């Protein structure tokens, strides 16, 4: 037998939100995020109801907030709340018979039609006296007086009703409701995490490439934490808040991969950082070429000084020479011939990697991973980018994240799972604070409109998308063949359409040559050291550095852009011109509304002229909009329908701040 039927309440509440899987998981939010709370609630007949949100903060403070009815006919009631405490918020919806407003509505209609005039006054008197029983002090006195005046002759019923309303009858009644027939929903929760869990600008570099130099004989000398520390200024000047490092652990030598993922590594090839572990150590060890633990601590400290957090990689796999293979061979799969199974997707072989078999010794593996994570947490690391979490059991992650967050709720896990939607969503529900997503492969207007709406509205309660423009694994054909405009377009959208965006080093230099037939850079940094001439790049006008810097500045100055759920897409007549806006109300932004409207030509090869049609309500304006283009500084006066011309070869986008 399934569970018993739910008993429907006197005032039905058939849906509440935010809610994930009927309350199986808390909805996600971050400190400073504006969340829409709501319910579908209704009643029989014509009488009115009131719907309230009973919201309890992590500290245990409770408040009742009256919801507003939304679109006609849908019986949806909502309010927006800015969550400003980290921890678990809980809420219930309360719905009740709104006897006062039912009476007032009927009285107004009947008086206008000269029906039951004195009777409605009498009903009003009785009702107000009942409200008075519930009220105290001034309100009690006022209600009693108004009640008496409603039935005191000497003026017409209409004049008496007008006088009662002028005396504040509705406000007093609303403060002292009877809440007849009150019905409560089940309780639901919202997990509010720190801001960077849901909003932020990320950069990725390989520390070994930062400061790497090429000797005259062609041999490249690895960078290290000391040299990479000098690059922090560059990252900071561009305005990034998180710097993610690929694994910094010793790299396996057995079956090490050579340049461009070739099977044989030369003596100077550094190997892929994701082939973790050799005789020097494993996941708890720093690669000696990068420096000492103390160098790493200095690096983290220097970053933090620049308001940059360091995100480490957590790749739960081992090179054949990882210490675990000797100390804990039971953590791997033994084949029938006694050998340890390397990674395979038959017939493909990945002999440089031993996958962990989580079912062989779940507790032992859990304890070891927890030890590793806690070690780095003790180094000041509060963010982990998890490599391929979808190749490990989901229940392992749920347990690990819950355990880490129970002691250190500030720790953020980013899921690097480019896989099917069911798994990606499950990882979000399992606790991953954020996730890479399909953004790199959503390039044209229609697919962006659909996907951005999915991210902002359908999956936001459990899946926080990080909009990365590229990674060491991803150089899309759009970037390969779109030229420099493609880079500008993608950075513009990534930085403004979601709440988290990311960029891997080299993007700002328009690195766009792919390994033939692949969707990743040729001579990938995964397998070799990269010597980039940052000094020259920083002086050049021909990089994306100024644009990236500007984008992060715009994000920083416009709180509306730091939210995910407030995205609204608008219409344009052109199949390549994407239009969206983000709005944060004055009450959630220190008394001043912030509204940004972005118009982008998604075709990197053309000039587009078209008309964009705005949903003015979503922009919080009526009629005319004064806007400032935050890219060019130009000012325009816009309305509901607006001509735009976007030339991808010069400037493919408007980022318009609405000034009124």
Between residue 14 and residue 73, which ones bind a copy of itself under the rule CB under 8 A?
A: 14, 21-26, 40-46, 73
Q: Which stretch binds a copy of itself (CB under 8 A): 259-267, 386-394, 498-506, 616-624?
A: 386-394
Backbone angles phi, psi at 168, to 5 degrees: 85, 20
Residue from 355, 465, 472, 485 touching a copy of itself (CB under 8 A): that is 355
Joined tokens for residue 293: 């633990």
Closest separation in Å from C-beta 397 to a copy of itself: 9
Active site residue 108: no
Decide: is 12 part of the binding site for a copy of itself (CB under 8 A). yes
Closest separation in Å from C-beta 542 to a copy of itself: 41
Active site residue 416: yes
Residue from 66, 214, 420, 444 touching a copy of itself (CB under 8 A): that is 420
113 or 535: CB nearest a copy of itself: 113
343 or 377: CB nearest a copy of itself: 343
Decide: is 133 part of the binding site for a copy of itself (CB under 8 A). no
Decide: is 566 part of the binding site for a copy of itself (CB under 8 A). no
Cβ-contact 559, 583 below 8 angstroms: no
Convert 227-236 to b/e letters by CB count within 10 Å (16 or more is b): bbbebbebbb
Instruction: Print the binding letters for residues 185-204 with a copy of itself: x by CB under 8 A, - otherwise.
Output: -xxxx---------------
Joined tokens for residue 381: 């690391």
* CA 69 to mean position of chain CA atoms: 27
Cβ-contact 360, 324 below 8 angstroms: no
If binding means CB under 8 A, how many residues of this protein chain bind a copy of itself? 73
* CA 438 to mean position of chain CA atoms: 14
What SS3 string covers 286-306? CCHHHCCHHHHHHHHHHHHHC
343 or 585: CB nearest a copy of itself: 343
Decide: is 433 part of the binding site for a copy of itself (CB under 8 A). no
Helix (H) or strand (E) holding 655: strand 653-658
Residue from 35, 64, 68, 113 touching a copy of itself (CB under 8 A): that is 113
Rounded-to-integer distance, Cα 406 and Cα 399, Å: 10
Residue from 149, 249, 255, 429 touching a copy of itself (CB under 8 A): that is 429
Catalytic option among 76, 416, 508, 603:
416
List of residues 6+ apart from 108 with CB closer than 8 A: 161
Cβ-contact 214, 531 below 8 angstroms: yes
Query: Omega of the bond prior to 347 within 30 degrees of 0, cis?
Result: yes
Joined tokens for residue 284: 């708890």
14 or 292: CB nearest a copy of itself: 14
Decide: is 363 part of the binding site for a copy of itself (CB under 8 A). no
Catalytic option among 387, 461, 520, 525:
387
| Residues 313 to 332 in contact with a copy of itself, rule: CB under 8 A | none
Closest separation in Å from C-beta 553 to a copy of itself: 39
Joined tokens for residue 533: 């001439």
144 or 398: CB nearest a copy of itself: 398
- CA 519 to each of CA 157, 258, 292, 504: distance values in angstroms, whole numbers, following the listed order: 78, 18, 35, 15
Nearest residue to 653 via CA among 608, 601, 578, 605: 601
In angstroms, how far is the first alpha carbon of the chain from the final one? 59
Residue from 78, 374, 398, 606 touching a copy of itself (CB under 8 A): that is 398
- Which residues is 608 bridged to in the sheet? 646
Closest separation in Å from C-beta 64 to a copy of itself: 18
Joined tokens for residue 249: 């652990």
Closest separation in Å from C-beta 520 to a copy of itself: 21
276 or 548: CB nearest a copy of itself: 276
Closest separation in Å from C-beta 150 to a copy of itself: 11
| Residues 154 to 183 in contact with a copy of itself, rule: CB under 8 A | 180-181
6 or 216: CB nearest a copy of itself: 6
Instruction: Print the binding letters for residues 69-98 with a copy of itself: x by CB under 8 A, - otherwise.
Output: ----xxx------------x-x--------
Residue from 122, 221, 280, 616 touching a copy of itself (CB under 8 A): that is 122
- Residues 406, 407, 412, 415: is their CA dihedral positive or negative? negative
Rounded-to-integer distance, Cα 304 and Cα 165, Å: 58
Three-state secondary structure call for residue 415 = strand
Residue from 48, 394, 449, 518 touching a copy of itself (CB under 8 A): that is 394
Three-state secondary structure call for residue 192 = strand
Decide: is 125 part of the binding site for a copy of itself (CB under 8 A). yes
Instruction: Cite the active site residues.
Output: 387, 416
């Amino acid at each position: 037998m399934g569970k018993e039927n739910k008993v429907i309440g006197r005032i039905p509440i058939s849906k509440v939100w935010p809610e994930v899987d009927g309350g199986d998981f808390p909805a996600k939010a971050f400190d400073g995020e504006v969340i829409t709370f709501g319910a579908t609630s209704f009643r029989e007949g014509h009488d009115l109801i009131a719907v309230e949100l009973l919201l309890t903060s992590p500290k245990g403070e409770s408040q009742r907030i009256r919801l507003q009815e939304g679109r006609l006919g849908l019986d949806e009631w909502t309010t927006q709340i800015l969550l400003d405490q980290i921890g678990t918020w809980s809420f219930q919806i309360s719905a009740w018979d709104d006897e006062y407003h039912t009476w007032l509505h009927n009285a107004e209609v009947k008086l206008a039609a000269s029906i039951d005039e004195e009777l409605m006054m009498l009903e009003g008197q009785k009702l107000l006296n009942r409200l008075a029983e519930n009220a105290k002090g001034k309100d009690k006195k006022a209600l009693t007086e108004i009640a008496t005046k409603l039935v005191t002759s000497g003026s017409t019923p209409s004049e008496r009703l007008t006088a009662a309303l002028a005396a504040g009858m509705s406000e007093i009644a609303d403060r002292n409701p009877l809440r007849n027939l009150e019905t409560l929903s089940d309780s639901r929760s919202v997990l509010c995490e720190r801001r960077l869990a849901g909003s932020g600008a990320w950069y990725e570099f390989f520390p070994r490439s930062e400061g790497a130099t090429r000797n005259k004989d062609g041999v490249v000398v690895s960078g290290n934490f000391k040299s990479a520390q000098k690059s922090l200024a560059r990252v900071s000047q561009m305005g990034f808040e998180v710097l993610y490092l690929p694994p910094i652990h010793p790299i396996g030598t057995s079956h090490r991969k050579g340049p461009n993922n070739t099977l044989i590594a030369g003596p100077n090839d550094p190997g892929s950082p994701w082939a973790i572990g050799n005789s020097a150590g494993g996941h708890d060890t720093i690669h000696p070429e990068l420096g000492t633990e103390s160098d790493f601590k200095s690096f983290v400290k220097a970053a933090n000084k620049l308001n940059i957090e360091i995100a480490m990689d957590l790749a739960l796999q081992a090179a054949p020479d990882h210490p675990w293979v000797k100390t804990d061979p039971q953590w791997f799969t033994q084949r029938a011939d006694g050998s340890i199974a390397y990674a395979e997707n038959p017939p493909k072989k990945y002999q440089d990697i031993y996958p962990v078999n989580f079912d062989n010794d779940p507790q032992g593996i859990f304890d070891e991973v927890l030890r590793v994570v806690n070690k780095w947490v003790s180094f000041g690391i509060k963010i982990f980018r998890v490599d391929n979490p979808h190749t490990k059991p989901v229940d392992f992650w749920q347990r690990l994240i819950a355990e880490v967050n129970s002691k250190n709720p500030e720790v953020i896990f980013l899921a690097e799972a480019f896989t099917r939607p069911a798994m990606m969503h499950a990882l979000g529900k399992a606790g991953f604070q954020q996730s890479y997503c399909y953004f790199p492969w959503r390039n044209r207007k229609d697919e962006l409109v659909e996907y951005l709406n999915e991210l902002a509205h359908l999956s936001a309660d459990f899946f926080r998308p990080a909009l990365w423009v590229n990674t060491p694994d991803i150089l899309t054909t759009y970037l390969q063949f779109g030229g420099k405009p493609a880079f500008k377009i993608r950075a513009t959208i990534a930085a403004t359409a979601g709440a988290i965006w990311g960029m891997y080093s080299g993007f700002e230099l328009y690195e766009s040559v792919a390994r033939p037939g692949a969707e990743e850079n040729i001579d990938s940094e995964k397998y070799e050291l990269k010597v980039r001439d940052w000094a020259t790049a920083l002086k050049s006008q021909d990089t994306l550095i100024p644009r990236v810097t500007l984008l992060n500045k715009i994000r920083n100055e416009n709180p509306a852009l730091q939210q995910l759920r407030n995205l609204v897409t608008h219409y344009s007549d052109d199949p390549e011109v994407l239009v969206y806006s983000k709005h944060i109300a004055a009450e959630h932004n220190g008394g001043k509304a912030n509204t940004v409207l972005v118009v982008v030509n998604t075709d990197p090869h053309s000039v587009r002229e078209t008309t964009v049609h705005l949903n003015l309500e979503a922009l919080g304006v009526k009629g005319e909009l004064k806007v400032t283009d935050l890219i060019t500084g130009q000012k325009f006066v816009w309305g509901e329908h607006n001509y735009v011309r976007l030339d991808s070869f010069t400037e493919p986008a408007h980022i318009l701040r609405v000034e009124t």
